[in-house]
Chains A and B, each alone.
Chain A
Amino acid sequence: MNKKSRILTFVVIIAASLGSLKVHAAAGAACGSFLSEDGLTKGECKEAYINAKDKASLQRGAQVYMNYCLGCHSLKYARYKKVAEDLEIPLSMFQENLIFGDQKMGDLIQVGMDPKEAKEWFGNAPPDLTLEAGLRGPDWIYTYLTSFYIDESRPLGVNNKVYENVGMPHVLIDMQGTPRSVCKQIPSFADNGGIKQDPLTGEQLTEEKCGFLQVDNGTGEMSLEQFDNTMLDLTNFLAYMTDPLKVERETIGTYVLLYLFIFTMLSYLLYREFKKDLH
């Protein structure tokens, strides 16, 4: 085997190993029976375009979380003070507006609710959400938050497309308005991917498909777009919660990489000098 084929074998084996991992990763978490807006894909999460560096978005997300979620969902691995510092919220302002009860800035973010009682009320104690974005991924959270709909057959009157028969009430219904699961006419697609047409008139054929989400007009405090953005902020905040030091980590990582590039370059030059002895 010459040098070329040797390196080729090496690369092929590494690539095949990584390739087999990639196939596995693709079969990842799904979003229940969530139907995309065009009705073509079912169970795929909406992509959450979030940015860990967008402090304003994180601040808005924290505000929504502390006001609407913290009643039930703790963030028990994180501390108030750290959140305030990371999100650049002045400590006094944070203390006055975002801490409820007699908790202190240095405390972990707990809830007052007794888990046993909570289990009786909801069927399951509401989970801690510090690491939820790591567990499910931001896309799942964003899709879940925007997928509640009215379902009178459920004890709390609502259901969720992503998490069927979830025990959680739609806490943000006043904000969003009344979401319903509706049926719509959508273009009918042939097997080859083209839109089916009536052979005589040339009109596009449609078919009825159910399971789309639609909010009743004028029932919410926010417009559709505002609500969507608010949910993105909340998702961003939860992603921050899972990985609070992402920005710092990547900054340090960049410096470490720069150092290593220089180190490797110098060590290569050194190696090249020594190699000259050998021939």
Chain B
Amino acid sequence: MVTKLMNWFDDRLPLTATIERHLTKYPAPINMNIWYLAGVLLVVVLVIQLASGIWLLMNYEPTAEGAFASIQYIMRDVKYGYIIRYMHTTGASAFFALIFLHMFRGMMYGSYQKPRELLWVLGWITYFLLCALGFTGYVLPWGQMSFWAAQVIMSLFGSIPYIGEDLLTWIRGDYLISGITLNRLFAFHVVLLPLALIAVVFVHILALHEVGSNNPDGVDVKKFKDADGVPLDTKPFFPYDVMHDLYAIGVFLIFFVAIMFFYPDGGGYVIEYVNYEAADNLKTPEHIVPSWYYTPYYAMLRAVTFPLFGLTAKFLGFVVMAAGIAIFVALPWLDRSPVKSIKYKGIYSKFFLALFVVSFLVLGYLGAVPSTPARTIAAQIFTVCYFAYFLLMPIYSKYETCKPVPDRVQLG
């Protein structure tokens, strides 16, 4: 009966072939470790965000007059509305935490190197889309921080020479941030960006299954195959990885749910306290901070304090900040190392990767606290360190001595 049904489908759709290709016969390296969990957890969070987002949409009102009150309506009057909303706010933070870990994994094990350049570029696009989703979504509750964050970020476009002011008015759709701006950000957040994200994630996974997963040793598992042509150092994704991931998802959800139900504000990081006040365009908050996941870039923006070549400091800061996000895409072509994994790379690669992590964390801290002259200098130094990891890579990765890479994966 089942076979008959499958045959019926197979004549009309490559069902069995797809299942085999992506699940039961997809060869996953046997030495994948804890860092490889971020990917599957990102898919889980994507589903959480989509589901909770749809339900929030049922009661949210995208107008300057009604947005803030409609959030409180969801929190108070809609049955279990607070669960849906906290799921979405916690999901936003989880999304970024996981994508940072996922990207770091790729950087550590050289997952961007040939033949995975396109896979990396697609992943970078999802990161960029996620940043856009985070920003547009953050404005929707129309609290004080929503409004002023939108004010600060959108004003960056105004700093572009010559066309800035007109461009800014065009983007805002008004002479100041208003209900019109809110409406377009809403349209982006609920239609355009999620659609694009789903599409790119889908292609990202297709590309992954085309080239195969990298592994902590960065060796090509397809070199050695058994008699059936199955790579030796791999296991079928289903059931082995799926069972492992199920267990990991359980552990992840325990942390997720603990934050969601018991610390939904996350100490002011998941939901910022200033956003408990409705947007007021006449009252600037004392200290405007972006969400924690943008703070490294916010620190870069503020680190540029001097004009140069006739360009304003604000515009240069904007360029540096944008470059900080954009530069990841160049990694496959900056890395000249003959080996993939940090395990076998030389001392310079290890040093610069560590420097990058420290810079990212320090900038993240500096972007979250009010700036002082000393902090600005620190931010400048660490911005340089952040870019040094990327820009010096063609040199240090080429001229360092690497350890010999084994032919097959190493366990333990």
A binds B: yes
Which residue in A10, A137, A257, A278 is a CB contact (below 8 Å) of B240?
A278
Q: How far is the CA of A27 from the CA of B250 in the complex (A)?
A: 34
Contacts of B33 in A (CB 8 A): 3, 6
Determine whether the beta carbon of A253 is less than 8 Å from that of B72: no
A249 near B83 with CB under 8 A, answer yes
Q: How far is the CA of A27 from the CA of B289 in the complex (A)?
A: 13
Residues of A near B104 (CB, < 8 A) are 13
Q: Distance (Å) between the CB of B187 and the closest chain A CB?
A: 26
B185 within 8 A of A: no
Most buried by B among A16, A131, A257, A278: A131
Q: How far is the CA of A185 from the CA of B365 in the complex (A)?
A: 41
B365 / chain A contacts, CB cutoff of 8 Å? 20, 23-24
Q: Is A60 interfacial (CB-CB < 8 Å)?
A: no
Bound-state CA distance A29–B357 (Å) is: 30
Q: Indicate whether A28 reaches chain B with its CB closer than 8 angstroms.
A: yes
A113 within 8 A of partner (CB): no
Also in contact, A131 and B247, with CB within 8 A (given A13-B357, A16-B361, A274-B240): no
Number of A-B pairs whose CB atoms are under 8 Å? 123
Instruction: Kindly state whether residue B292 has any CB partner on chain A within 8 Å.
Output: yes
Query: By the criterion of a CB under 8 Å from any partner CB, how many residues of chain A are at the interface?
Result: 51
Instruction: Check if A256 is an interface residue, CB within 8 A of chain B.
Output: yes
Chain A residues with CB under 8 Å of B240's CB are 274-275, 277-278
Q: Flag if A17 contacts B361 (CB, 8 Å).
A: yes
A201 at the A/B interface (Cβ < 8 Å)? no
CA distance A72 to B315 in the complex (A): 45
In the complex, identify which listed stretch (B149-157, B201-209, B265-273, B389-397) lies at the interface while the others stay far away.
B265-273
A130 touches B (CB below 8 Å)? yes
**A274, B261: Cβ atoms closer than 8 Å:** no
On chain A, the residues within 8 Å of B342 by CB distance are 1
- In the assembled complex, the CB of B265 is this many whole angstroms from the nearest CB of chain A, namely 8
Q: Identify which of B48-56, B163-171, B224-232, B251-259 touches chain A.
A: B251-259
* Chain A residues with CB below 8 A from B97, complex form: 17
The reply to whether B261 and A253 contact each other, CB–CB distance below 8 Å, is yes
* Chain B residues near A263 (CB-CB < 8 A): 250
With the chains together, A2 CA to B268 CA distance in Å? 37
Q: Tell me, rounded to whole Å, the shortest Cβ–Cβ distance linking B41 to chain A.
A: 14
Chain A, Cβ-Cβ closest to B277:
A135
Contacts of A7 in B (CB 8 A): 34
Question: How far apart are B106's CB and chain A's nearest CB, in angstroms?
Answer: 14
Whether B277 pairs with A270 at a CB distance below 8 angstroms is no
CA distance A102 to B77 in the complex (A): 22
B-contact bits for A233-259, CB 8 A (1 contact / 0 none): 000000000101100011011101100
> Is B67 an interface position by the 8 A CB rule?
no
Contacts of A242 in B (CB 8 A): 276
B277-291 contacts to A (CB < 8 Å): 277
Q: How far is the CB of A86 from chain B (nearest CB, A)?
A: 10
Q: Check if A260 sits within 8 Å of B257, measured CB to CB.
A: yes
Interface residues of B in 340-368 (CB under 8 A from A): 342-343, 357, 361-362, 364-365, 368
Distance of A122 from chain B, by nearest CB (Å): 16
B273 touches A134 (CB 8 A): yes
A20 touches B243 (CB 8 A): no
Contact of A267 with B by CB under 8 A: yes
A79 within 8 A of B: yes
Interchain CA distance A20-B100 in the complex, whole Å:
15
| Chain B residues within 8 Å of A2, by CB | 412
B60 interfacial by beta-carbon distance below 8 Å: no
CB-CB under 8 A from B267, the residues of chain A are 21, 25
Selected contact of A135 from candidates B76, B235, B274, CB within 8 Å: B274
A13 nearest CB neighbor, chain B only: B357
Residue in B72, B76, B254, B269 whose beta carbon sits within 8 Å of that of A261 in the complex: B254
With both beta carbons as reference points, the residue of chain A lying nearest to B108 in the complex is identified as A9
Of B82, B251, B261, B273, the residue contacting A256 (CB under 8 A) is: B261
- Tell me which of B243, B253, B362, B412 contacts A274 (CB under 8 A): B243
Most buried by A among B30, B251, B258, B276: B276
Contact call A20/B72, Cβ cutoff below 8 A:
no
- A209 interface contact, C-beta 8 A: no
Determine if A166 is an interface residue (Cβ-Cβ < 8 Å): no
- In the complex, the answer to whether A3 meets B35 with C-beta atoms within 8 Å is no
Q: Once the chains bind, are A131 and B276 in contact (CB under 8 Å)?
A: yes
Residues on A with C-beta less than 8 A from B21 are none
Interface residues of B in 59-97 (CB under 8 A from A): 69, 72-73, 75-77, 82-83, 97
Say yes or no: is B369 at the interface (Cβ < 8 Å to chain A): yes
Determine the residue in chain A with the shortest Cβ distance to B268: A25
Cβ–Cβ contact A253 & B257, under 8 A: yes
**Structural contact, B250 and A267, CB atoms closer than 8 A:** yes
**A134 and B276 form a contact (CB under 8 A):** yes
**CB of A49 closer than 8 Å to a CB of B:** no
Least Cβ–Cβ distance between B250 and chain A, in angstroms = 3
Any A CB within 8 A of the CB of B246: yes
Cβ 8 A contact of A270, one of B243, B268, B273? B243
Residues of A within 8 A of B77 (CB): 79, 82
Q: Is B45 an interface residue (CB 8 A)?
A: no
Chain A residue numbers with a CB within 8 Å of B257 are 253, 256-257, 260
Closest to A77 in B: B72
Nearest CB in chain B to that of A261: its residue: B254
Rounded to whole angstroms, the CA-CA distance of A265 and B276 in the bound complex is 38
A268, CB-defined interface residue at 8 Å: yes
Most buried by A among B76, B262, B265, B357: B76
Tell me which residues across on chain A come within 8 A of B76, comparing CB atoms: 77-79, 82, 244-245
| A103 proximity list for chain B (CB < 8 A) | none
Interface residues of A in 50-94 (CB under 8 A from B): 76-79, 82
19 interchain pairs (CB within 8 A)?
A7-B34, A13-B104, A17-B364, A24-B368, A27-B369, A29-B273, A77-B69, A77-B76, A245-B75, A249-B261, A253-B258, A253-B260, A257-B261, A263-B250, A264-B247, A264-B253, A267-B250, A270-B246, A278-B235
Nearest 10 Cβ contacts at the A-B interface? A253-B261, A264-B250, A77-B72, A134-B276, A135-B276, A131-B276, A20-B365, A267-B247, A271-B243, A24-B368
Q: A268-B250, A275-B243 are in contact. List 9 more A-B contacts (CB 8 A).
A: A3-B33, A16-B361, A27-B369, A78-B76, A132-B276, A242-B276, A244-B76, A250-B262, A253-B261
